[in-house]
Amino acid sequence: MAAASLLTILLLALSITGSPVEVNNSPITLPIARRLSALNGTINALEQDKARVAAFRLKDYNLKHGSHSIPVANLGTVYYAAVGIGSPATTYYLIVDTGTSNTWIGARTPYVPTSTSVNTNEYVKVTYGAGYFSGTEYADTFDFGNGLTIAQQWIGAATETSGNFGEADGILGLGPVELTQGSLTEDVDILVPTVTDNLHRQGTIHLEVVSISFEPTTSTQSMVNGELTFGGTVRNKHGPITYTPRTTTKPASKYWGIDQSISYGSTTILSSTAGIVDVGTTFIHIATDAYNQYRTLTGGIPDAATGLLLITSTQYGALQNLNFNIGSATFSLTPNGQLWPRILNTYIGGSSNALYLVVNDLGTPSGKGFDFVNGYPFTERFYCVFDTSRSRVGFATTSYTDATTN
């Protein structure tokens, strides 16, 4: 398939059934819903996260050895978007993921070709940290809902999947387009334009930007408590935005990677280094040497049941801010922001009233080109802007930065 034909794709549309969609002008804002995948049981959320982080670090290795490997989202706590595909449309529930870039369906509900479906005759395969999908790329109509439909977005129609994708039908990939390299099995050098690419190319949005905001989790029920905005930001959702260039350090540069340092209170625990920002990672992960300092300074003890650091109420009272020094600004995760939501303690096998910290060991020492993952606890407290047009990532405080809901 010629590379030029790939550029004829239009855009993705996604919606939450029954929810309003802002489509008057660019930017376009859509609600997204958080779901917990095992409400009647427990999951080892930390082990799932570690598998995801390991797959991030091995990205370059896997590409050099003939495998397009990217991490799957932590299925315990993920955000879903409902997308109508085809005409008449079938609704698919896709994981919103900034750590991947291919959009695909078929993990649960199979793809249903309709009159708007075009078989591209391109075969696709993506191997994740624990599992894979393979199938055929189709171009088809995506439906945002409320009458907004877009033609010819490329999607992977999975005919075979391996691994646990929870309740999802697939993934909505919002990562950098470079992550799609190698996913087409016969045209391995071709990049598959992402959803954000196509929105911009077709003039639906003026800037190739996607921004994400969340509210802290206050319930174990599925709830719409996030927003995904294409083409810019929602001004009343954030304060002044600080932008920093995407890092050039590999392997973090493959993703939404940045350079930052981290301090606990006034003590630097991680000097300026490269890592990534990722909404699909449930916890915050930092290099082993930084984690060991954090554990000593907080007094946290690894909990046998959850794997997380456990602290006492006295230690919580003495907890200091965890400061992420990015560009010219410092983004401080408050003591409450460093806690796993207590309402979800039993969900991960913990005690209902225990105090667990969300900062964890990355598993490798600093200096490896991938020394942190600013996961969901970070993105829950700070507005995040992923700007392809200017190759940068932006952050801002929100009304939830200092929330005490955990």
Whole-angstrom Cα distance, residue 243 to residue 115?
44
| Rounded mean pLDDT, 152-156 | 92
Q: What is the pTM of this model?
A: 0.87
Choose, from 49, 140, 259, 278, the residue flagged as catalytic: 278
Catalytic site residue 97? Answer: yes
3-state secondary structure 368-382: CCCCEEECHHHHHHE
Choose, from 97, 197, 361, 371, the residue flagged as catalytic: 97
Q: What is the pLDDT of residues 339-375, one digit of tens each?
A: 999 988 988 899 999 999 999 999 999 999 999 999 9
Q: What is the pLDDT of residues 232-264, one digit of tens each?
A: 998 889 999 999 999 999 999 999 999 999 999
Q: What is the pLDDT of residues 69-110, one digit of tens each?
A: 344 444 446 788 888 899 999 999 888 889 999 999 999 999
Q: Are 81 and 280 in contact (CB under 8 A)?
A: no
Q: What is the pLDDT of residues 296-316, one digit of tens each?
A: 999 999 999 999 999 999 999
Whole-angstrom Cα distance, residue 284 to residue 340?
11
DSSP code for 403: -
Highest mean pLDDT among 13-17, 54-58, 356-360: 356-360
Q: Are 399 and 235 in contact (CB under 8 A)?
A: no
Give 211's contacts (C-beta < 8 A, 6+ positions apart): 27, 228, 229, 232, 233, 234, 383, 384, 385, 386, 394
Catalytic site residue 278? Answer: yes
